[in-house]
Structure 1
C-alpha cells in the first residue's frame, strides 16, 4: 500500500511520533549580555515609550500568548502538557523580564526545538517509507490554526502532519512533478529545516523573546540584535544591494509589505504588496524553499552584489491557491537618489471640443541629500527643490491644475513634507508632534509666498504613509485641494533608535497629528473622492497590524483656510461615478477587489483530493480570468487564456508610458486609470471653482 494511501486511512493506524531525546539537542541558554539587555529594554519600554505601558498581569498574559504565537502560531508542534510548566509566566513574565531572568523562556523554546526537530525527522522517515503518492479520498487541510486549541496527544498532531505532508506533496504534484521529484524536493526542504534548526543560536532565541515583549506594545517598537542593527544602518543609507522590497513575516510565509520607490523590484514590475515569497534562488543555482524560514535568513538569501540576478518563487497576492506560484527574476541594484526624484507629465483631456492640460507630479519619497545640505552646498537635491522645478515647468505649459501623485510613497524626511506643503500655502503650520511626555511641537512652513496657488489634487493609496499622510492631511485641512484615491496606511508614529549594552532598540517616541487635531495614526487620511483598489486594508496598513496605537485627537491650531472643496464634493462625486461606471479598469478594480475578499473568506481549507483540488482552483481562477477578460474586451485588448498570465500583461501595460505611448494607450493599464481619473476630477474641480468665482463677482 502506498504512503499516501496509508495516510488517508484511520488515525488509529498512524505511526506514533518518537520524541527526540532532550539530550540529543543542544540546550540554548541566555548570556549575561542578553540578561542585561532585557532589563534595559524593559526600562526603555516603561520610561521611554510614547504609550503608557503597564507591566501588570494583563500585560504578562498578552506577552506570553504572543511568545507562544511566535514559537508555534499554527499549534502544530507543542502539546498542551509542554506548555503547562511555563504557565506561571502568564502572570509574572513582567517580573522575570525586569530581573533579567530569561531561563524559563529559553527552556520553553528548547522544548519547541525538540518537538520541531522530531517532527521534521518524522516527515523524513515517512518520505523514506514509500515513494508512491495517492491523492484520493475526501480529506481537507485547515489552513489557519492560530485559534485552534493545543493538542492533548501526539496522535492529534500526527493526524495533522499526515495531512500537511500530503498537501506538500500534492502542491508539487500539481506543478507537474513526478513522484521521484516530489520526494527529492521534499527531502531537500525538510533537511534544510533540520539544518537551520541545528544552527539556531542563543541570540536567535533572545530575539524571539524580545519580539514577543515589544510587539505587545506597538508593531514598530523592536529589538535589533548587533547583526540586525548593522543591516538597519545599511538600509537607512540606501547602500544595500538587493531588490528594493520591504518584507515581513506572515505565519510560515514571507510577505512583501511594500516596494522601495525606484528600486529594482518596482522597476521590474514583477512584485506587488502582499505577494508571498516561497522560494529564493541564485542565477545559476537551485531554488531554496523558504517556507518556515526566519525572515532575516530569507533576506540574506535575497541580498547579493549589484548586477547579479536573484530568482524568486512567488505566490501572487490575488492567488487563491499556494500551488499557483510564479518564478520571477530581478537584477539586484542599489537605489540612487535619481531613481527617487520627482517627475512630472502633462495629461491632455478632451472635453466639448477643447483640449485641457493637467499636470501630474509623481513623488516617490521625501528625500534630501543630507551630506550636501550639511556641507552648505547651494544646489543640494531634495524633494521640495525637485518638485518646485517641476511645478515651474508645468506652469510654463499652462496647465489648469496639478495632481501630486503620492501613491506608494512610504514617507521619508519630515522636513521635506513641511517645506513641500509650503509651495502651495503662504506660511502656516503643517503638523503637530506630541512626544512621550505629552509635549506638543508645532512644525510648519515659515517662508512667505506661494509657488503655485491654482487647483490642486493629491492622489494617495494604501501604501502612502507617514510624511505622505502629513502632506495629504494638511492639503485637506487647509482646503487647499482635493484628496483622491484610497485610505492611506495610517503610520502616524515616530521611532528613534537607541544603543543598548547589547544591540539596539527602536522605540516609538512620538505621534503625528494634523493641524485640525486629528491623528494620522491607524486611520490614515480618508480621501475626498475614493477610488477602488486591489490592496486589501485588512492585510496591508497600520490597522492590520497587532497592537497598533489607537487614533486620537489633540487640540487644533489656528490656520487659514484657502478654499472649501467640500462644497463641490457631491458634484465631483457624481461626475466621477458616472465616468467610473463606464471605465473598464474601474469596474474591474471594484469587482476584483470584492471577489478577492470573497475567495479568501471561502478558502479556509484545501482539498487533499487531487481532482477536487484542481476543480476548486480552476473554478476560482475562472472567475478571476473572466473579470480580467471582460476588462480586456472593453479596452479592445487580446484576451488571456490563463489567469496566471494576467500579472505579466498588467505589468506590461503599466510600463507603457515609459515607452512613449499616448494617454489613449496608457488607459489600458489598471494603475494608470487612477492617474487619468484624478486629472478628470481635478479638471471638474477647477471648473466648479472658476464658475463660483465668476458668480461671486
Structure 2
C-alpha cells in the first residue's frame, strides 16, 4: 500500500553546544554549504508568485523580515535549546534586511545562520557522546526536573546554563529508556549510537536541504499550506503517491526530533491492526525479527524508507503512545505491509439496531450507517469511459438502494469521521443526492472574485431522515458536504468540531522545484468560511482530539475565518420534519452523558488524558516518575472498574489484567469483533441514540398530524 508523506522540515532537530561568537565561522567544514545562482533565481520567482498569486496579499517588507527571522530560528531550534542568546543577538543585524536581500536573491543570512546551527550541533553531539563514554553516572535520586514547555523556554544565556540544560536533557532520555525496561548499559550504548547517527546526519545536509528550510520559513508566513518543494522532495512526494509502493498506511510528519503519526489511512495495514493512532511517536523501527533501529532525530524520508517495504513483509515499530505519552511506557507493535486498494477506501455500510421507547412502547430502529473514508474517484477509468468506474457517489447510491429499498432502514447516518477530503467534484455530487438543485459551495480567489459553479443540479435522490457524523479529522471536502447539509437544514450534524481546512492550493513550477500556493478559500452557501472554525456540529460529542493541538487553528499563520454574501438556497429539514427538536435532542444526549456508564467513562478518560498532556515539566527522579506512571495507571483502572460496576461486570484486579484482555481483543480481526457497539465504537453508538430520538420525534409528529386529520 502506498505511504503518504506529509511535507515537513527536512533538517532534523539536533542537540547543540555553545560556541563563542569568535569561534563561529572558523569552524565551518571545508565543504561549507553555499547557495547557487539557480537558488537565487528561484527565490526571486517565489517572491513574485507569493506577492501576486497568494490569496493573502502580504507585502515583503520590514515586518515580514522580522517575522521571517523569528520563524526560521523557530524551525531550526523549536525548543530554544540550541542557540545561545548571544547568537540571537548577533542575528538581529538582519532583522529588517531579509526582505530586501530576498528580493535580490541573496540567501547569505539563511545559510550563515544554518552554519552556526550546524557547528553547535556537531560540538554538542560530540560532548554528549563523550559524557556517556566516560561512564558518567546520572543521579536518578536527585530531585530535579526538565521543562518541556517550549512556549515558555528562553534562549540559554551562558555556556554553563546550556551545559546544565543538556545534562538534564540527556538524563531524561536515559531515564525514559530505563523506565521502558532497558538495561542501563544498553541504554548508554543506545544513546551513544543515537548521538553518533545524529552527528553524521547533521553533516549530510546539503544546499538543497538548507534552501528548502529557509524558503519554507518564508512561505509559512503566508499560511501553513503554502510551501516550497525542492527537486528531491518532489521526487519523494511523487513516489509516496504511487500505488506500487507498500507500507503501513499512515501519514507522517516530523515534529521536532520525532516522527509523528498525523493520521491512519482507512482500510490500510495500520488501520486493520488497530493500535497505531494519531499523535503516536515512532522512536524505533525493526525489520521482521531484527534488532530495532533508533530513529529519534532522523530525517523524515529516511524513517519512511525504513518503514516502506515489500508486500506481506513484517515491520515492527516502537512507539510512544499519544495517550499518556509523557511518562508512560513505550509500546512495540507489528504490522504486515500491504498495498492500498481503492476498494479498501470505498464507502461501506452496516445496519445498527437501536432500542428505544415510542409513546410508551418498546421499539427498535434499524439505522443504515454508510462510512465514507475519503472522497474518491477512479479518474483513469472515468477518462477511458469505463461504465464501472469507482466513485464515492456511485457507491453511496448503491448502498442507499441496498439498505433503504431492500433492508427497509428507518434512516441513514453518513460517517465522515477521519475523512480528510479528496475530490471536490465527489463532495458536490454526493451533496446533490440529498438537497436537490442549488448551490453547494462558493469559492473566492486572490482577486476577490467569487464563483458559485459548484451546484447541485438534480432532484433529491433520498429525502428521508439523515445524520452526518464528523470529528476533528474531518476536513476539506468533508466540511463542504457537512456545511451544505447544515446550511440547507437537511439533516443533523453530530460529533466534534471539524478540522477547519477551507483553503485551495495549486502547484506552480519554479526554476528549481515547485511552490504549493494557497490561491482560494471555500465559503458555505450561508457565506461563512469553512476555514479555521470548521463545521460546528448541532450536537457535540466527546472527542479524543485536543482542539488546541489538532486542526487548522493549531497551525501557525492559518488564514482567518471570514464571511462573504450568502448564496440563495432552500431551508428545510425533510418532507417529514420542518422543525427539528435540537434542544430536545441535546437534553436527551446530556442526560446520557451523565448516566450512561460508557459515556461517563469516555469523558473521565479524556479528562485524565488532557490533564496528563498539560504537564509542563518532567521529573528526573526515577522514583517520582514511576509513582506518576503508577498513579496514572491506577486512575485509568479506577474509572474502568467504575464503568464495569455500573454495568454489573466483574472488576479487574490489576492494570496488567486489564491490558492483557485489551491486547487480546485488539489482536482479533475487526470483522470478527463481537463486542457491543457501545464498546467497539461508542461515538457511533451515541450518534445512533441521538438519531433514534430524532426518529421518535418524526414518528410522534406524524402520529399527531394523522390524528388531526
TM bucket (normalised to shorter chain) is: over 0.9
Within 2, Cα distance between the matches of 1:63 and 1:267?
42
Alignment of 1:352-501 (within 5 A): 352-395=361-404, 396-501=406-511
Structure 1 residue 221 displacement after superposition:
0.8
Alignment correspondent of 1:98: 103
Q: Partner residue of 2:7?
A: none
Query: Mapping of 1:530-545 within 5 angstroms?
Result: 530-545=540-555
Distance 1:238 1:585, change over 3 A: farther
My pick for the range that moved more, 673-682 or 545-554, is 673-682
8 Å Cα contact 2:418-2:473 kept in structure 1: yes
Deviates further, 273-282 or 358-367? 273-282
Q: Please give the alpha-carbon distance, in whole angstroms, between the structure 1 residues aligned to 2:314 and 2:173.
A: 28
CA contact (8 A) 1:656 1:666 kept: no
The residue number in structure 2 matching 1:342 is 347
Does residue 1:178 correspond to 2:190, yes or no? no
Structure-2 separation of matches of 1:321 and 1:215: 29
Look up the SS of the partner of 1:451 in the other structure: coil
Stretch deviating more after TM superposition (195-204 or 255-264): 255-264
Residues 479-536 of structure 1, C-alpha deviations (whole Å, 9 max, x = no match): 1100111101111111111111111111111111111111111111011111101111
How far apart, in 1, do the equivalents of 2:136 and 2:30 lie? 29
Report the CA distance between 1:56 and its aligned residue.
1.8
- CA drift of 1:433 comes to 1.0
Indicate the SS of the match to 1:424.
Answer: helix
| Deviation digits for residues 357-376 of structure 1 (CA, Å, limit 9, x no counterpart) | 11110111100100011112
**Following the alignment from structure 1 to structure 2, what is the Cα–Cα distance between the partners of residues 578 and 654?**
34
Q: Which of 140, 143, 147 matches 1:142?
A: 147
Show the counterpart of 1:248: 253
What is the CA distance between 1:268 and its match in structure 2?
A: 1.2
User: What residue is the counterpart of 1:622 in the other structure?
Assistant: 634
Of 633, 652, 657 in structure 1, the residue corresponding to residue 665 of structure 2 is: 652
Name the counterpart of 1:4.
none
Identify which of 642, 649, 652 aligns with 1:639.
652
**Residue 226 of structure 1 corresponds to which residue in structure 2?**
231
**How much has 1:643 moved relative to structure 2?**
7.4
Shift of the 195–121 alpha-carbon distance from structure 1 to 2, 3 Å rule, reads same
Secondary structure of 1:305's aligned partner? coil
Structure 1: give runs of 5+ residues left out of the alignment: 1-14
Within 5 Å, which residues of 2 pair with 1:13-412? 22-24=27-29, 26-130=31-135, 132-322=137-327, 324-351=329-356, 352-395=361-404, 396-412=406-422
Aligned equivalents of 1:652, 1:526: Cα separation in 2: 34
Distance 1:152 1:653, change over 3 A: closer
Give the structure 1 partner of residue 595 of structure 2.
582
Shift of 1:61: 1.1
Q: How many residues align?
A: 678
- Report Cα offsets for 1:602-656 as digits up to 9, x if no partner: x211111211221122223322332234334445376373379659828936977
CA distance in structure 2 between the partners assigned to 1:566 and 1:312 by the alignment: 51
* 2:684 match: 675
Gap change, CA 1:30 and 1:365, over 3 Å in 2 = same
Residues 72-105 of structure 1, C-alpha deviation per residue, up to 9 Å, x if partnerless? Answer: 1222221122233331322121212121111121
Say if 1:514 and 1:520, in contact at 8 Å, map to a contact too. yes
Structure 2: runs of 5+ lacking an equivalent: 1-16
Q: How does 1:541-620 map to 2 (within 5 A)?
A: 541-563=551-573, 567-601=580-614, 603-620=615-632
**Please, what TM-score do these two structures have when normalized by structure 2?**
0.91
**Cα offsets for 1:383-416 (capped at 9, x unmatched):** 0000000000111211111000001111100000
| Change over 3 Å in CA distance of 1:57–1:87 after alignment to 2 | same
- After superposition, the C-alpha distances for 1:197-240 in whole angstroms (9 at most, x for unaligned) are 12111111111111211111111111111121122223445444
Query: Is the CA contact (8 Å cut-off) linking 1:143 and 1:604 kept in structure 2?
Result: yes
Give the 3 Å change call, closer, same or farther, for CA 286–30 of structure 1 in structure 2.
farther
Match of 1:67, SS state, is helix
Q: What SS is found at the alignment partner of 1:668?
A: helix
| More moved, 417-426 vs 382-391 | 417-426
SS at match of 1:314: strand
More divergent stretch after superposition (425-434 vs 559-568): 559-568
In 1, Cα distance between equivalents of 2:158 and 2:389 = 66
Q: Supply the distance in 1 between the matched residues of 2:415 and 2:660 (Cα, whole angstroms).
A: 23
**Partner of 2:434: helix, strand, or coil?**
coil
Return closer, same or farther for 1:339/1:638 CA change in 2, 3 Å cut-off.
farther
CA contact (8 A) 2:180 2:330 kept: no
The match for 1:666 is 677
1:518 to 2:528 alignment: yes
Distance in 2 between residues matched to 1:229 and 1:333, nearest whole Å: 24
The 5 A counterparts of 1:678-689 are: 678-689=687-698
Tell me the TM-score normalized by structure 1. Answer: 0.92
User: Structure 1 residues 290 and 633 mapped into 2: Cα distance closer, same or farther (>3 Å)?
Assistant: farther
Query: CA separation of 1:287/1:565 partners in 2, compared to 1, >3 Å: closer, same or farther?
Result: farther
Moved more, 239-248 or 95-104: 239-248
Structure-2 separation of matches of 1:248 and 1:287: 20
Q: How far does residue 580 in structure 1 lie from its aligned partner after superposition?
A: 3.1
Deviations 1:179-212 (A, max 9, x none): 3212211111111111111211111111111121
Instruction: Give the 3-state SS of the residue equivalent to 1:483 in structure 2.
Output: strand
Contact 2:327 2:628 in 1 (8 A): no
Q: Is the 8 A contact 1:622 1:643 kept in 2?
A: no
Preserved CA contact (<8 Å) 2:353 2:365: yes
Alpha-carbon distance, 1:265 to partner: 1.4
CA RMSD of aligned residues (A): 2.4
Distance 1:265 1:648 in 2: 20
Q: What is aligned with 2:4?
A: none
